[in-house]
Amino acid sequence: MFRFFENLVDPYAPYPQKDVPPQRLLPFLMDYARPFRAIFAWTAATSVVVAAVEIWLLWAMGWVVDILSGDPSQVWQDHGTALIGLGLFILLLRPLLQALDVLLLNNGVMPNFGTLIRWRAHAHVLRQSVGWFENDFAGRIANRIMQTPPAAGEAVFQVFDAITFSLAYLIGALVLLGGADSRLMIPLLVWLGLYAILMRWVVTRVGPASKAASDARSKVTGRVVDSYTNIHSVKMFAHHSRELDYAKEAIEDTRQTFQIEMRLYTIMDVVLVLLNGLLIVGVVGWAIALWMQGAASTGAVAAATALTLRLNAMTGWIMWALTTFFRQLGVVAEGMETIAQPITLLDAPNAKPLAMQAGEIRVEDLTHHYGRGSGGLDNVSLTIAPGEKIGLVGRSGAGKSTLVKLLLRFYDVEQGRILIDGQDIAKVTQDSLRLNIGMVQQDSALLHRSVRDNILYGRPDATEAEMIEAAKQAQAHEFILTLADPEGRSGYDAQVGERGVKLSGGQRQRVTLARVILKNAPILLLDEATSALDSEVEAAIQDTLYGMMQGKSVIAIAHRLSTIAQMDRILVMDEGRIVEQGGHDALLAQGGLYASFWARQSGGFLDPDTQAAE
């Protein structure tokens, strides 16, 4: 039975992805709720039916009071069948209706609605560009992905568990009192008007207050995760107190925003007690007055009393449900600041996969300043022949990394274009482009998974033998066999920790090399590929690197110039331009910037901030 309701909606079903999600709250939620339209309708209907049954039971209890005021010997004879029917309804049919209501809501909607939002939100965020992630805290992004789905689920829960039910209940209450005596509707309507005023006052303030509190919580998460992620730097510089102060500022902001939110609830509770007193005195007092005048039966007074006491108990719940509803909408609105951001780096319409042939790379009049007007690249043109090995050197900020990022299309170029085998990379699919490029970065961060998972990331369909062979070529196999984690996993199954923190820098770099070796892409990018290795291991891996380069088009960034001295051609960049190019010996003979770098080296290492001699 549970499985039937749990499977009414598949949260992982295929859906049309939107590059620009709805930017307003209601359309945003309605877009996610589309697969739930039918189940929402059934849930709303059952909620109304359950509320109607509750009102009818109050009327039925009033009827029981009225029949008991007659001759006891005649009660069973005249009403026995009806009393039995009432008892069977209460014992059998009412629980079935209630069960259907809660099964639809608790098992059909709640587990699936939040899951669908989290799944689709994560899919949307993963499509964002590298630059988008570089402009935010990973912790804050993750926090919004995690807190938005349960908030949206709670809002939906309140709609059907409280709001729909309470509206139906209030309408039923008016009908019930009107049926007893239309004048009994007057105090209820007056109370309802005052209750609506209070509700409006609260909910208009709860939404913004809740969003502010949610923003503050996300800020705390971002700062705390930032400290944990960089715990080595925190310990290294002995900044424990500074990090506490940094977090305390955000934590205190969270406390203050939460205080403001809680003040609203205190005011609401006090005023609500006063209003409920007015409701009880108004309806019950009037019912008694009518009874004393002979205008209302004892059953009507009993029903009115039961109804007002029930409403008295419900009003706090309804108000709390409404404030919860709007508070959760505030959380969703805060989450939308991340989840609903448009995808700006898109595949071109009708983009086709990159058709790799020889591997020629041509850069034409490339200019890119990250929207700042300076830095980056300035009118760069070059051609890398198929299979040619290019070394790239220059001071920090010269534009080397920008060129690599643009080649990977982590950003769209501002001016010019890049072609691979004559195909503009802006007009091919991003995935096909990156599948044909292997890159070893200076920052050899790994996934918080097993060594096996990290290496197979290069080619998930590789065999075990191929994976091990790649590890051997990267001089990683021997140390991998010695690994063990606290959970008892060892070797290739050992977990490497967040960003590979359980491994040394050299070990991480070798696992990264193994991953790229396994990928075996026709274009190879090396960004300080051996910077984390000791001299002995670097010497052993150099042959592996040169082996990897065979038949590939290669761009290698290096500050240690000895690692690129044997390249076919070396490009020297300065202030976003290529200022020199040629072989190692030819560049030394020119006596230019490259020669000054070489002259200032110690052991073939280039100080990236070295200034050229005037």
* pLDDT tier, 287 (very low <50, low <70, confident <90, very high otherwise): confident
* pLDDT tier, 537 (very low <50, low <70, confident <90, very high otherwise): low
594, 565 Cβ separation under 8 angstroms: no
Across 163-177, 186-200, 446-460, least confident range:
163-177
194, 278 Cβ separation under 8 angstroms: yes
Average pLDDT over the chain, rounded to whole? Answer: 84
Per-residue pLDDT of 200-241, as tens digits, reads 887 778 778 877 887 888 788 888 888 887 786 787 778 888
**pLDDT: is 100 or 167 the higher one?**
100
- pLDDT, residue 540, reads 64
Q: Which of 255-269, 518-532, 564-578 tops mean pLDDT?
A: 564-578
Across 21-30, 392-401, 494-503, least confident range:
494-503
Is the pLDDT assigned to residue 10 strictly greater than 90?
Answer: yes
- pLDDT, residue 555, reads 92
* CA-closest candidate to residue 475, choices 536, 533, 543, 540: 540
Is the pLDDT assigned to residue 468 strictly greater than 90?
Answer: yes
**In whole angstroms, what is the distance from residue 462 CA to residue 342 CA?**
35
What does the pLDDT average to over 58-67? 78
Is the pLDDT assigned to residue 610 strictly greater than 50?
Answer: no
- pLDDT, residue 75, reads 78
254, 220 Cβ separation under 8 angstroms: yes
- pLDDT, residue 233, reads 77
According to CATH, where is 1.20.1560.10 located in the chain? 22-339
- pLDDT, residue 112, reads 93
Query: Which top CATH class is 443-520?
Result: alpha beta
- pLDDT, residue 536, reads 61
According to CATH, the topology of domain 348-436+524-529+554-614 is Rossmann fold (3.40.50)
Cβ burial, residue 34 (10 Å; 0-12/13-18/19+): exposed
* DSSP annotation of 506: H
What does the pLDDT average to over 429-451? 87
- pLDDT, residue 533, reads 60
What does the pLDDT average to over 77-91? 87
Across 22-26, 530-534, 539-543, least confident range:
530-534
Per-residue pLDDT of 369-412, as tens digits, reads 887 766 789 999 999 999 999 999 988 888 888 999 999 999 99
- pLDDT, residue 64, reads 81
- pLDDT, residue 366, reads 93
What does the pLDDT average to over 85-105? 90
361-368 and 415-420 beta bridge pairing: antiparallel
**In whole angstroms, what is the distance from residue 591 CA to residue 594 CA?**
7
Is residue 215 left, alpha or beta, with left meaning phi > 0 and alpha meaning psi from -120 to 50?
A: alpha
Is the pLDDT assigned to residue 162 strictly greater than 90?
Answer: no
Is the pLDDT assigned to residue 565 strictly greater than 60?
Answer: yes
According to CATH, where is 3.40.50.300 located in the chain? 348-436+524-529+554-614, 443-520
**In whole angstroms, what is the distance from residue 368 CA to residue 405 CA?**
11
Is the pLDDT assigned to residue 250 strictly greater than 80?
Answer: yes
Phi and psi (nearest 5°) for 213?
-65, -40
Is the pLDDT assigned to residue 613 strictly greater than 60?
Answer: no
What does the pLDDT average to over 558-581? 87
* pLDDT tier, 421 (very low <50, low <70, confident <90, very high otherwise): very high
* CA-closest candidate to residue 412, choices 393, 385, 430: 430
386, 433 Cβ separation under 8 angstroms: no
The residues with which 440 forms a beta bridge, in sequence order, are 526
Tokens of 379: 């009118």
Using only C-alpha atoms, the chain has a radius of gyration, in whole angstroms, of 35
249 Cβ contact partners less than 8 Å away, ≥ 6 residues apart: none
438, 516 Cβ separation under 8 angstroms: yes
Per-residue pLDDT of 346-359, as tens digits, reads 999 999 999 998 89
Distance of alpha carbon 73 from the chain centroid: 69
Per-residue pLDDT of 193-210, as tens digits, reads 887 888 788 777 877 887
Per-residue pLDDT of 305-362, as tens digits, reads 777 777 777 776 777 777 778 778 878 888 888 888 999 889 999 999 999 988 999 9
Is the pLDDT assigned to residue 84 strictly greater than 80?
Answer: yes
Q: Classify domain 22-339 by CATH number.
A: 1.20.1560.10
Is the pLDDT assigned to residue 612 strictly greater than 50?
Answer: no
* DSSP annotation of 123: H
